Structure 1
Amino acid sequence: MSNVATDVPVEFCSGDASAGPVRQLLPARAVSLGPGTEVRRLLPSLGRRMVGAWCFVDHYGPDEIAARPGMQVPPHPHIGLQTVSWLLDGEVHHRDSLGSDVVIRPGELGLMTAGAGIAHAEQSPNPHGALLHGAQLWVALPDAERAIAPRFEHHSGLPVITEPGLRATVLLGEVAGARSPGRVHTPLMGVDVELAPGADVLLPLEPDFEHAVLTVSGAPDIDGGELAAGALCYLGCGRSQLRLRAPAGGRFLLLGGIPFDEEIVMWWNFVARAGAEVAAARAHWQAGPPTHGSDPLFGAVPGYDGPALGAPDLPPTPLKPRGRAR
């Protein structure tokens, strides 16, 4: 998924270790992704820019799209990151410049590794269902692997943890001995947790990780307080378990990872280490799809009918890597 705004803020991130367990609500801001799709952007936020290597979190829906086009995000570029597509309701048609052409459905992982460069488009299929609800997340790649060859993974057989009152699907990483098949490049985890009404459970955590919770439905009690749907709560480091209660049920995404110790600069759809890299990637994209013998950084998206998304203007101030937490 892309940031389609033309007035793109400059997002700076770097590594700083969390002091220990905290409970910090992070504010959301509304961002339009085109006709019929508005998202709640939760990371980067005014309070924090990263959780482990997770550097971007959009939550959208549930939206009624029966009589609307639904998601319509034209081809756009990425470098230096992984995109994680996770649906709760509806379908999204993913196409990319590698030739991937996949419809992603609830419970299936769409994991795109941009590496040195990739372009993709995301659309609600035609025809499509009545509801669209999901999350789009980005993971920053470490410096040693951020220029790897791009790839796309589609996994439908994800591991599921079940116990009384809880059903947890492991998107990435490992939780309670269950490991996702998705390939990661830093120690991290992502899990979709569904709590039955009356649930009262303990979920094991890796204490070296920092964690955050995105509530997607209901208002579960997490670490001693209710979290309304659409809220992102940063939990810090140092937790070996998390107490979960849900008198009326609920569902949330739990994200975690080793605090990312590299400085990065994130602007538009690019994660880099210097402003010059961002400017070069933007120039490549604006130059258009490659032809025979030209630079093949991004490429075209086969099968997409329509123009690609143009890059916004670079900011007047220099792009520099800075702290991950404001």
Structure 2
Amino acid sequence: MSNLERDPVELLCPPEQPTAPLVRVLTPRDVPLGGPRAMAVRRTLPQRGRTTIGAWCFADHYGPDDVAQTGGMVVPPHPHTGLQTVSWLFEGEIEHRDSTGVHAYVRPGEVNLMTAGRGISHSEVSTAATSTLHGVQLWVALPDTARRALPFFEHAETVPVEVDDAIVRVFVGSLPYVEPEASVTVFSPLVGAQIELPAGGEAWIDLDESFEHGILVDRGPVRVTVRALEGEADDAPDDADPLAETGHTATLEWSELGFVPAGHDGVRLRATADAPVRVVLLGGAPFGEELVMWWNFIGRSHDEIAEARARWQADVISGGEPDGPFGTVAGYDGEPLPAPELPTVRLRPRS
């Protein structure tokens, strides 16, 4: 998915510093995609308080969206560099076309992963069969060793697995003791999974303790308890109020994201008695590289981003070199998306 903001903010994303072992609640901001009837998304990454979770660097949560009211998703051809896009749906269907020649569909329970590498362009349009559109759009920052790779696309089905009361679908990477692993290619240690609980259900989800994790709520609320490490007090007794909040426990509401720092090997997810839960779990080894993110590009400097924008405008928007790194998207009926203007000042680090 493209970032369709008219004035996208340029971000410097330094490696995150360790934080206290608490469940930290991140609230989303609303971002309209497109014109007057724009489909709204709720963006939890990046934000001032947290720019990455592992290599996950962008998370948009959208829907349930009535396509008859908003027109659904219509994202013209647009570029990406230095990242992977991960598309995951709860409802609906999206048609994907890209400059490598791939024509594919995103459907619930199936993952589409596109590796931009040195440059790719693609379009995304909800299909005529879609009445409700509901899902998440995620980006993964590529490490320096892979960010100039040739672009490619992967599609895979996922397998539901029972863990206590939960149904888990791993769509990227792996979870401890959950098989099978996802079959798509990633370039840093990662996990992405959908976890569903019935009303009143609970499950202990084992985690890789070297990862930091985020829990994005699609249905909730959900009570999250981090497994206490040796020497730490778990200040939530088993008979406590199921919605009480403690040092290692927090209640996450719809569309909030709970951040759990590295150093913990499990979380308990608990649904209330009257509401089922669905969350997306994102995790990865802390990303130790500085990133510059602007519009649909990820680089390492202001000049690199400016060069990518200029190449897109010259090669694709102005038609200078259709065989350049961004190529062309065959089969899309419409014009590609021009890049916004760059800021008038050079990038400055955010505090």
Q: Per the alignment, do residues 181 and 283 of structure 1 end up closer, same or farther by CA in structure 2, a change over 3 Å counting?
A: same
Q: 1:249 aligned to 273, 276, 280, which one?
A: 276
Determine whether 1:275 maps to 2:276.
no
**In the aligned structure 2, how far is the partner of 1:145 from the partner of 1:122?**
25
**In the aligned structure 2, how far is the partner of 1:68 from the partner of 1:99?**
29
Which sections of structure 2, spanning at least 5 residues, go unmatched? 226-248
1:231-246 equivalences in 2 (<5 Å): 231-246=256-271
Say if 2:115 and 2:151, in contact at 8 Å, map to a contact too.
yes
Say if 2:165 and 2:198, in contact at 8 Å, map to a contact too.
yes
Q: Which has the larger radius of gyration?
A: 2
Residue type matched to 2:290 in 1? Answer: E
* Cα displacement (A) at 1:225: 2.9
Residue type matched to 1:92 in 2? Answer: I
1:124-273 equivalences in 2 (<5 Å): 124-125=126-127, 127-156=128-157, 158-175=158-175, 176-178=177-179, 179-223=181-225, 224-247=249-272, 248-273=275-300
- The equivalent residue for 2:43 is 41
Instruction: Quote the sequence identity (%).
Output: 45
Q: Per the alignment, do residues 303 and 153 of structure 1 end up closer, same or farther by CA in structure 2, a change over 3 Å counting?
A: same
RMSD of aligned residue pairs (Cα, Å): 1.8
* Cα displacement (A) at 1:220: 1.4
* Cα displacement (A) at 1:152: 0.5
Residue type matched to 1:106 in 2? Answer: P
Say if 1:96 and 1:302, in contact at 8 Å, map to a contact too.
yes
Q: Per the alignment, do residues 45 and 293 of structure 1 end up closer, same or farther by CA in structure 2, a change over 3 Å counting?
A: closer
* Cα displacement (A) at 1:164: 3.6
Say if 1:27 and 1:46, in contact at 8 Å, map to a contact too.
no
Secondary structure of 2:23's match?
Answer: strand
Q: TM-score, normalised by structure 2?
A: 0.87
Kindly provide the CA deviation profile for residues 192-232 of structure 1, in whole angstroms up to 9, marking residues without a partner as x: 00011221221000111011110011211112332111111
Residue type matched to 2:258 in 1? Answer: C
Kindly provide the CA deviation profile for residues 54-102 of structure 1, in whole angstroms up to 9, marking residues without a partner as x: 0000000111113552101111000000000000011111111111111
Residue type matched to 2:97 in 1? Answer: R
* Cα displacement (A) at 1:128: 2.4
- The equivalent residue for 1:121 is 123
**In the aligned structure 2, how far is the partner of 1:177 from the partner of 1:169?**
9
Aligned length: 321
Kindly provide the CA deviation profile for residues 257-313 of structure 1, in whole angstroms up to 9, marking residues without a partner as x: 110001110111001011111111101110133979776110111000111111011
**In the aligned structure 1, how far is the partner of 2:208 from the partner of 2:99?**
36
**In the aligned structure 2, how far is the partner of 1:135 from the partner of 1:202?**
24
Say if 1:83 and 1:113, in contact at 8 Å, map to a contact too.
yes
Runs of 4+ residues deviating >4 angstroms: 290-295
Deviates more, 1:28-37 or 1:11-20: 11-20
Q: Per the alignment, do residues 45 and 16 of structure 1 end up closer, same or farther by CA in structure 2, a change over 3 Å counting?
A: closer
Secondary structure of 2:329's match?
Answer: coil
- The equivalent residue for 1:53 is 55
Secondary structure of 1:22's match?
Answer: coil
Deviates more, 1:75-84 or 1:233-242: 233-242
- The equivalent residue for 1:286 is 313
Which sections of structure 1, spanning at least 5 residues, go unmatched? none
